[in-house]
Amino acid sequence: MARELPRWAAKYPELGTGPLPIDPYIEPEFLEFERDHIFRTAWLNVGRIDDVPTQGSYFVREIEICNASVLVTHASDGVIRAFHNVCSHRANKLVWESNGTCRGYLGCCFHGWTYDLEGRLCGVLDEENFHDLDKSTLGLTPIATGVWQGFIFVNFQPEPDETLEEYLGGLVEDLVDHPLDQLALTFRLDVDDQANWKVALDAQNEIYHLPILGPVHGAFTDFFETNEEGCTRFNEFKRFGRHTVYSTNMNPEYVPVGLEQAILAVPVTPLPMPTNGIFDFHVIFPNFVIGFLPGSMFTYNFWPMGVDRTIWEIRLYFPQARSAAELCVQHYRKAKLRDALAEDISGHENVHRGLATRAKREFYLQDEEVQIRSFHHVWHQYLNASRASGAAEPVGSR
């Protein structure tokens, strides 16, 4: 008699139940495939409108995986735009500082060509000495840009296959009622993680490890609903095309003690979120995460810097604190998450070292790791599409 499939495998049979290969984590050829066929074609989150809050403000985002420097501007017409941060004269990097404001013009430090925040070429030093120079055709090279829920995305395709909203699909409707505009960036951490970006994302994209990884994770486990063995359980997992969300409920028997009890007793700004549980974790393919905890939001960006190195950007958002006590709560939450992430970083790097030995050729997932399986299902769809297009296949891709 055939064994009945667990709930998520039964609900999403297209994801399969077999092991996953480790080659995509450790072979450099796969990083080249990801550069050309994922990161250069997908919509990528590069910031938030808070990063360009006023007309005349701008920031620069270096995206190493795409060999690109991206200039994002907030122009006088109120539109947020992105451009390749490259001067039209001799391809010098136009803006060198990470962010700033200007009176409407940005100048190249090599020969002084100037551009407005709409990307138009406005001034050329010694212009009369050029031959047939048409300034109207020599503006900054635009990058497709979209803004959703305050998050800024870019797409490096000259003509993207989909609009940002089409790319996000059902996720747009799922988060439409979330009052994200009431949350402000409060804390930020940038981690140089010595592991493949998918190792880092996979580890965050499940909570099966919570009871085991370390004491801080173990304390988090008490907060979430578990089975009789103390293993966490989702109350919901959903796919939105390429993207996913998982949720878990609060442990109904949880009783705070000590400092946690005092922290929970502090009245904080109410922020109603129509979440699926006490903890919602959205993965926007390929490398962006939006997570919700009570009264707060966090985001992760996983940027590949090499096959064995990732910059993991962590951002925490809270409502504006109304009192010293509320600010103290926010710092406590930040410190607790930071300590958990320190355990995670060690886990990422140990996993990558284990994979790099090539002692194992595949790994196995249980049903509560279905979101990892979904991510890799999409990843392999991109790989199969590149094969169908006749692109060179990475070594070990079969």
Which residues partner with 311 through β-bridges? Answer: 192, 303
The pLDDT tens digits of the residues spanning 290-343 come to 999 888 899 999 999 999 999 999 999 999 888 898 899 899 889 988 988 888
Task: Determine what percent of the chain is predicted with pLDDT higher than 70.
Answer: 97
pTM listed for this prediction:
0.93
- Specify the domain boundaries for CATH 2.102.10.10 within the chain: 44-161
> How many angstroms separate the most distant Cα atoms in the chain?
85
- pLDDT > 90? residue 163: yes
The pLDDT tens digits of the residues spanning 105-150 come to 899 998 889 999 999 999 988 878 989 888 899 999 999 999 999 9
DSSP string, 35-95: IIIIITTS-EEEEEGGGS-STTEEEEEEEGGGTEEEEEEE-TTS-EEEEESB-TTT--BS-
- pLDDT > 80? residue 233: yes
The confidence score (pLDDT) of residue 391 equals 60
- Distance separating alpha carbons of residues 34 and 369, to the nearest angstrom: 23
Mean confidence (pLDDT) of the chain: 90
Can you identify the CATH homologous superfamily of domain 8-40+171-388? Naphthalene 1,2-dioxygenase Alpha Subunit; Chain A, domain 1 (3.90.380.10)
The confidence score (pLDDT) of residue 336 equals 86
- pLDDT > 80? residue 5: no
Sheet containing 309-318: give its strands across.
184-193, 309-318, 296-306, 288-293, 279-284, 243-248, 236-240
Range 44-161 classified under CATH 2.70.150.10: no
Lowest mean pLDDT segment, chosen from 153-167, 250-264, 330-344: 250-264
- pLDDT > 80? residue 222: no
